[in-house]
Amino acid sequence: MASFADKFRDNGCVPDVVDTVPSAQAQVVYNGKEVECGAVFTPTQVQNPPQITWPAESGALYTLIMTDPDAPSRTDNKFAEWRHWLVYNIQGSDVSTGSTLCEYIGSGPPKGTGLHRYIFLVFKQPGSITPDEPRLGLSTKDRNNTKARDFVSKYNLTGPIAGNMYQAEWDDYVPKLYASLN
């Protein structure tokens, strides 16, 4: 049975998004169903933000990034990475304590583009940060070509200290998702 590190690496998360495998697997749960690294979920299953936890140090602050390196497809990733979610200044692993830079948008791969990877990455912050990027609500504006590496470098984040990923392809929920976005 393959380990988390093997699955993360085998799915190309290293080197496509980060240079190293996270030291721990983040627990990601959608409606009671836990994400096993590399598993396939449908856009319908992931339309709402998951519960996510990771091993955290007391008093430490963290950044959570969810990204898709396969936009618009794995073979034509000219819009990679597409940022699905970014929360910073998270106290421990309680995402609700953080500040949201990019509101959660679930998977919405275009029809006919095959499986996309949705990668969760957790980074330790050196202290409180104040990103100067625009805050993004439920809009597709400014989400493409947003590399996790660039954000990590800009704010001197450490890690990834935890991560996970799933795959998804188009289903009949995707047009409803697109209609709900600005």
| Per-residue pLDDT tens over the stretch 162-178 | 999 999 999 999 999 99
Output b/e per residue, 30-41; b: 16+ Cβ within 10 A: beeeebebbeeb
Residue 1's pLDDT is: 65
pTM for the full predicted model: 0.96
Segment 49-108, tens digit of pLDDT: 999 999 999 999 999 999 999 999 999 989 999 999 999 999 999 999 999 999 999 999
Spatial distance between the Cα atoms of 63 and 93, rounded to a whole number of angstroms: 10
Flag whether pLDDT at 141 surpasses 90. Answer: no
For the chain, the domains span: 4-180
Topology of domain 4-180, per CATH? Phosphatidylethanolamine-binding Protein (3.90.280)
- Listed in sequence order, the residues at least 6 apart from 83 whose beta carbon sits closer than 8 Å to its beta carbon are 65, 66, 67, 102, 136, 143, 144, 146
Q: Each residue of 29-52: pLDDT tens digit?
A: 999 999 999 999 999 999 999 999
